[in-house]
Amino acid sequence: MQRLSHLLGTENLTREQITFILDQSKPFQEFQRYPLKKLATLRGKTVAVAFFESSTRTRISFTTAAARLGADTMALQAESSSVKKGESLIDTVRTIEAMRPDGIVIRHASSGAPEFVAERLEIPVLNAGDGTHEHPTQALLDALTIRDRKGGLEGWNITILGDILHSRVARSNIHLLTKFGARITLCGPAMWVPRELENMAPGLRCTTCIEEALEGADVVMVLRVQTERIHEPALAAEEYILGYQLTAKRLRLARPDALVLHPGPMIRGLEIDPVVADGAQSCVLEQVTNGLAVRMALLYHLIGGAPVDAPHPAKDRSNASD
């Protein structure tokens, strides 16, 4: 298998690489249940975690994943850094690189920022979300959740609800899941689900009718409504709720064993009814836990540099530092 040198998106990953990352994540999932959660696998390595845009779960998840592998982290928070003083992206990341981290995790409001950085630095770059472009670790953790719950990743009917046009989560999921034969329905208000999106990948269908979108779905992925994009009179929150909120009644149109996924942060009462968010079909917290496992697998692969067939660090307990 072709080793990854960066993780910039899911568009250019092969099925084999995706399956490898998901397989490598499995023992790290088990590992999250151990009473002592620290390995020595990346001891002496440093991971820079540079967030130029706000984040709760992705930032904490990457930082915790690095710590559980034994690595140190260097954190950059844009709000409290020289970015505020007008320093350019490349100067900021070159400054971080001069402190010799072994890899950098980057979130940025501009689409393409991680790729721009990867072309200029010598170390592995992991995209933690860039503008409206990609959020590959989110799609990988979603895939792990689907594969676990459904016993495989192949050929499901997946419905993605919300602002597809501006969603990096939707884009990364579309690229990943269509490689595994998913039939994906994109659903939301017309201005957020333009027909041209159907050209993104084979097997894509766009609709503005939520009932049609949910019929027979195996997985319903609900996106956060980016409230900054709700502008009356074009679209009021009440209209969105009436037309597109995932309610228990609507969910009954999907298959009885359909999974409900949400990348967070959830706005309860807007895109999702709290009854569904907390219901038996919801995988929201499992997604968060799986995020740790996927990020540990990626940091291990990209920064640890071990051969792809090396014994897995979470299985080989002689490697534990506890």
Interface positions with ligand NCD (CB under 6 A): 57-58, 129, 135, 138, 168-169, 224, 263-264
- Residue 25 and residue 77: Cα distance in Å, rounded? 27
* Gap between the Cα atoms of 317 and 314, Å rounded: 7
- The nearest distance, CB 309 to ligand NCD, in angstroms, is 32
CB of 166 to ligand NCD, least distance (A): 9
Question: 196, exposed or middle or buried, with CB in 10 Å at 0-12, 13-18, 19+?
Answer: exposed
Nearer to ligand NCD, 45 or 224 (CB): 224
Residues 162, 40 contacting (CB under 8 angstroms): no
Residue 127 β-bridge partners: 106
Asked if 222 and 259 count as a contact pair (C-beta separation under 8 A), the reply is no
CA distance 95 to 103: 13
Q: In the complex with ligand NCD, which residue's Cβ is closer, 59 or 68? A: 59
Q: How far is the CB of 128 from ligand NCD (least distance, A)?
A: 7
Q: Minimal CB distance to ligand NCD: which residue?
A: 224
> At closest approach, how far in Å is the CB of 299 from ligand NCD?
17
**Residue 57 CB, nearest distance to ligand NCD (Å)?**
5
Q: Please identify, using beta-carbon distances, which residue of 144 and 169 lies nearer to ligand NCD.
A: 169
Distance in Å, CB of 2 to ligand NCD, minimum: 27
How far, in Å, are 2, 34, 158, 162, 230 from residue 226 at the CA level? 36, 36, 21, 9, 7
The smaller minimum CB distance to ligand NCD, of residues 169 and 276, is found at 169
Residue closer to ligand NCD (CB basis): 168 or 295: 168
Residue 37: helix, strand or coil by DSSP? coil
CB 175 within 8 A of CB 10: yes
d(CA 298, CA 115): 17
Q: How far is the CB of 61 from ligand NCD (least distance, A)?
A: 9
Torsion, Cα 17 9 70 305, to 10 degrees, reads 50
Query: In this complex, which beta carbon is closest to ligand NCD, that of residue 188 or of residue 263?
Result: 263
Q: Least distance in Å: CB of 134 to ligand NCD? A: 10
Question: For residue 204, what are the β-bridge partners?
Answer: 184
Residue type, 312: H
Q: Which residue number, 132 or 208, has a Cβ lying nearer to ligand NCD?
A: 132
User: Which residue's CB is nearer to ligand NCD, number 227 or number 321?
Assistant: 227
Range list of β-strands (E), 93-138? 103-108, 125-130
